Amino acid sequence: MASRAGAAVLFLILGVAAAAAEAAQARTQPARTRDAAQRAVPTVRLIATGGTISNRAGGRLTADELVALVPGIERYARVEAEQFANTASSALTLRQWLDLARRINALFAEDADLSGIVVTSGTDTLEETAYFLNLTVRSDRPVVVVGSMRNPSTLGYEGAANLFDAFRVAAEPASRGKGVLVVLNDEINAAREVTKTDALRLHTFQTRGYGILGVADSDRVVFYRDVVRRHTHRSEFDVSSIDALPRVDVVLVYQGATGDVIKALVDQGARGIVIAAAGAGATSGTQGEGIRYALDKGVAVVTSTRTGAGRIAAKQAFRPQAAAADPGQSGPARGFRIDAEDLAPLKARILLMLALTRTADPAEIQRMFQEY
């Protein structure tokens, strides 16, 4: 009888212990599951530079505060945040562009598990920053530039939604190899092609003529086409040892424009001039004299179009003969003419700046305008 009672007690003890262990496992399992799920989602780094997206009344939002605006993003990405700058986009310097590109390249080099990077920017110069990164980031992993048209203190602030989409696009495997992307208003555009088309409206960033690359819809990220021009990991531009970019200015063509503006820019140290020409390349007033002056002084002159779309077909790059009116010049002029293909004037400036860090050969620079 005693042995049966002892066995019953032992069985009861073992049962209680088993139940306790099962309960403990049940309590810890959700945490383990969450940890495993968190490790499984892609890692995305946010680099905040400022802009309207962070420009809250009373003080700009930090990178960490921006991430806090996006609840539920942990389902798509594990976001790490860092503050690069916190200013208006128009206040970013060319030196900061160089530092930003170097920082992105360092992050990709140091962390093989980093799926992508999101960069916040003010919208006024967002397309310029994006295209510069498109030429200088040396990885095929996605870099997504994002901003907002309304600030965090404004009714209808769309910055959180744009950030949510940007993180998803940066974490999306299909984004790889497409160069730097611009994501606003649920749409994905290529950095090379996109431009700001409206001063106020949310749909301001568009790709005229070619259309969007894809969309970030509620169910998934969808791409409709690819990017065929050279960019990022296929770029020849290496900014790792560049201290400063050469000065390149943009000159607008308008009726009766004077060439002395071009001469003044040359005299102030411009190494390149981009002409935002009328139509397919026309200048006006005395701008032709200014261009000849620039060429005689060894300055590169690139012809683009101010129209917002269309192509200035690349001719054979050339160094024109020195102007006969300048008796102090002999032999071929040191400057040269380049055609910008379909690059907008602002982006032609960026490509020319980087091109001049590598070569002064006009044929080589014309090749770059055809390939990038």
Assign 316 a pLDDT band (cuts: 50, 70, 90). Answer: low
2 within a domain of the structure (yes/no): no
In whole angstroms, give the CA distance from residue 11 to residue 148.
66
Assign 37 a pLDDT band (cuts: 50, 70, 90). Answer: low
pLDDT at 250: 98
Looking at every residue in the chain, the average pLDDT score rounds to: 90
Assign 332 a pLDDT band (cuts: 50, 70, 90). Answer: very low
Last residue of a domain, one of 209, 234, 259: 234
Domain that residue 80 falls in: 39-234
Assign 314 a pLDDT band (cuts: 50, 70, 90). Answer: confident
pLDDT at 315: 81
Detail the DSSP E strand segments found in 11-125. 43-50, 78-87, 114-120
6 within a domain of the structure (yes/no): no
Average pLDDT over residues 10-27: 49
Evaluate if residue 330 carries a pLDDT over 70: no
Assign 21 a pLDDT band (cuts: 50, 70, 90). Answer: low
121 and 162 in a common domain = yes
Catalytic residue among 52, 129, 136, 303: 52
239 within a domain of the structure (yes/no): no
Give the tens place of pLDDT for each residue, 175-225. Answer: 999 999 999 999 999 999 999 999 999 999 999 999 999 999 999 999 999
CB 326 within 8 A of CB 297: no
66 and 143 in a common domain = yes
8 within a domain of the structure (yes/no): no
CB 77 within 8 A of CB 167: yes
Domain count, the chain: 2
pLDDT at 13: 46
63 and 153 in a common domain = yes
* Type and span of the H or E element at 293: helix 287-296
Detail the DSSP E strand segments found in the chain. 43-50, 78-87, 114-120, 143-146, 180-184, 187-190, 195-196, 205-206, 214-216, 221-223, 248-252, 272-277, 300-305, 336-339
179 and 209 in a common domain = yes
pLDDT at 90: 94
Assign 8 a pLDDT band (cuts: 50, 70, 90). Answer: very low
266 and 189 in a common domain = no
% the chain with pLDDT above 70: 85
Last residue of a domain, one of 234, 266, 291: 234
CATH number at residue 269: 3.40.50.40
In whole angstroms, give the CA distance from residue 270 to residue 263.
10
% the chain with pLDDT above 90: 84
pLDDT at 245: 98
Assign 40 a pLDDT band (cuts: 50, 70, 90). Answer: confident
82 and 177 in a common domain = yes
Evaluate if residue 20 carries a pLDDT over 90: no
Catalytic residue check, 52: yes
267 and 220 in a common domain = no
CATH number at residue 193: 3.40.50.1170
Give the tens place of pLDDT for each residue, 82-124. Answer: 999 999 999 999 999 999 999 999 999 999 999 999 999 999 9
In this predicted structure, which of 226-230, 239-243, 318-322 has the lowest mean pLDDT? 318-322
175 and 53 in a common domain = yes
Give the tens place of pLDDT for each residue, 253-286. Answer: 999 999 999 999 999 999 999 999 999 999 999 9
CA 121 to chain centre: 9
Tokens 């200035």 sit at which residue? 312
21 within a domain of the structure (yes/no): no
86 within a domain of the structure (yes/no): yes
Last residue of a domain, one of 234, 263, 284: 234
- Beta-bridge mates of residue 282: 278
319 within a domain of the structure (yes/no): yes
213 and 337 in a common domain = no
Q: Which of 71, 18, 78, 82 is nearest to 44 (CA)?
A: 78
15 within a domain of the structure (yes/no): no
Residue with more model confidence, 35 or 349: 349
185 and 80 in a common domain = yes
Residue with more model confidence, 362 or 22: 362
Q: How many CB atoms lie within 10 A of CB 202?
A: 16
Evaluate if residue 364 carries a pLDDT over 80: yes
297 and 358 in a common domain = yes
pLDDT at 283: 97
Q: What is the pTM of this model?
A: 0.87
254 and 329 in a common domain = yes
